[in-house]
Structure 1
Amino acid sequence: METVSVVIPLLDEQDSLPELYEKLCEALRDTYAPEFIFVDDGSTDHSWQVIEQLCADDQRVKGIRFKRNYGKSTALHYGFQQASGQYVATIDADLQDDPAEIPLLIEQMKAQNLDLVSGWKRNRQDPFTKTLPSRLFNFVTRKVTGIPLHDFNCGLKVYRQEVVGRLELYGERHRYIPLLAWSDGYRGIGEKKVVHHPRKHGVSKFGVSRFIYGFLDLVTLIFINFYMQRPMHFFGTAGVLSVAAGSLITTYLVIMRLFYGEFLARRPLLLFGILLILLGFQFFSVGLFGEMMVRQKRDTRMVNVAETRNAESKDQVV
């Protein structure tokens, strides 16, 4: 029987955990050999006591407890490190996602030969103050990254084991797991509409600060994934645009001085044009410095090798 590891990050969800565990067992019974990894991200209620009891009652249950709250990305990172199944699923502990969707997501992943399948909460059961920022976030992320997903931050996802083994999660990077996988060469990313329920217990941990931090992390990830190995392309482009704009401004002012006799000593536009030119050369300098650092510290271990072949063997090595 194929194995699946279910990673459940949680914070103050003591009332939801027993029911979630029962639903997970029911959903995966007779289809997969599961293990359940509960990651307590510094709960202040009795969530850990519930997890301890589940561990005592079922050897398939593992528990990880943080001494303080580190965030969902860190919780997922440590949960992935403990996952040993052929497939890895993630689900939030608030009972809003249906565990019965996990086998369906895995079947879609196998049928379409995908690396990752993300849930899409098409009919989301959350207040407008939460769904509106989420829709804006997903729209911007979809347009910027080119990855055709409608719900990047859905907590319900399934992966092949090798995908999660290469993920480095911290900050708010859990929102961009599809982008991280895509940039590492895993282009088989799919999506499935999933059922979403209203929250039954506790309160949502969503806040405006997470929304802001998420966009800042998006900018960081785009730079790291697309320009980390070629910083001159980024800073050089910015430098060219800055120098070009500054040159146009100063050329215009020189023409105004020579042909129209306009006095320029107190024109702020002159200072702005010179500033743009100097800023452009600074961008060039930063780009060159970045290129030198990349060449000195290039790490071939980050390369995701698809296969190697030689004359003696036709076997694929991944």
Structure 2
Amino acid sequence: MQISKLSIIIPAYNEGRTIHFILDKVKQVTLINNIAKEVIIVNDCSRDNTEEAIKNYITTNPDLDIKYYAHEVNKGKGAALHTGISKASGEYLIIQDADLEYDPQEFNLLLKPVTDGFADVVFGSRFMGGNPHRILFFWHTIGNKFLTTLSNACTNLNLTDMETCYKLFNTKILQGIELKERRFGFEPEVTTKISRVPKIRIYEVGISYYGRTYEEGKKIGWRDGFRAIYCILKYGMFKIQ
């Protein structure tokens, strides 16, 4: 399949110290088949210097196509993704966190099933393949696997990592789905709703994972896990739209 542009959506909240690192990594990536990159950054009302850092980067890197949007109030990661998805103009889009946990050099791993003509959606799994994974939290791993299993039971998919950041979508298909979750419930909601699209082709590839500790800026916590369970049951088992 021919793709001319990939939209890279980056939600950002209090990432002023590291946002330039991830943008450098995105800039350095050469996508397969000379696919162009469109970077969409959504600042979710950060309280640090995130906006200043982004605007400085745009000024000093005019060769990278960056579109910047800012929320006037903090709405949550899911809401930032909603904004970014609505602004995407590439045939496909991928979600990239503003931290350094995921490596943009692996965009091509997710693109390959699409360009080969097999996939409409590709999940990047932290739990399969031989790529490097930082060893961190036992209970986070158990929690992620539990949430994935529960989600699979509701969607009849066999994913290994539903909660992964790296999800690549056909843009028109995703823009045609009404998404409501404004915070970390985005992952189970989008997984459930994309699974219901008729004849959707979902693939999964192994990716690296360079996780952060809470001291290094990790934001997701146990409350988000309970919200994810609620969303899986709400959109999956009870099929609430």
Shorter-chain TM band: 0.7 to 0.9
Question: How do 1:293-312 and structure 2 match up within 5 A?
Answer: none
Unpaired runs of 5+ in structure 2?
none
**Root-mean-square deviation over aligned CA pairs:** 2.2
* 1:56-205 → structure 2 map (5 Å cutoff): 56-57=59-60, 58=62, 60-122=65-127, 124-125=133-134, 126-171=136-181, 172-199=185-212, 202-205=216-219
Q: 1:23, CA displacement in angstroms?
A: 0.8
- 1:34, distance to aligned residue in structure 2 (A): 0.7
Question: How far is 1:207 from its partner?
Answer: 1.2
TM-score of the superposition, structure 2-length normalised? 0.86
Q: Determine if contact 2:154/2:237 at 8 Å carries over to the other structure.
A: no
More helix by share: 1
- Cα displacement (A) at 1:136: 1.3
Structure 2 counterpart of 1:143, one-letter code: A
CA distance in 2, matches of 1:212, 1:180: 19
Q: State the TM-score, normalized to the length of structure 1.
A: 0.66
Q: Is contact 2:31–2:108 with CA below 8 Å preserved after alignment?
A: no
Equivalent residue runs for 1:16-55 within 5 Å: 16-28=18-30, 31-55=34-58
Residue identity opposite 1:214 in structure 2: A
Superimposed CA distance per residue, residues 189-232 of structure 1 (whole angstroms, 9 cap, x where no aligned partner): 0100001113388411111111111111111102563x77xxxx
- Aligned residue pairs, count: 227
Q: Which amino acid aligns with 2:212?
A: R
CA contact (8 A) 1:9 1:93 kept: yes
- Name stretches of at least 5 consecutive residues in structure 1 with no aligned partner: 229-318
Counterparts of 2:73 and 2:216 in 1: how far apart (Å)? 19
1:248-259 superposed matches below 5 A = none
Runs of 4+ with >4 A deviation: none
Between the aligned residues of both structures, percent identity stands at: 22
CA contact (8 A) 1:119 1:193 kept: yes
Query: How many angstroms apart in 2 are the aligned matches of 1:179 and 1:91?
Result: 20
Q: Taking CA–CA contacts closer than 8 Å with sequence separation of 6 or more, which of the two structures ends up with the larger relative contact order?
A: 2
Give the partner amino acid of 1:49: E
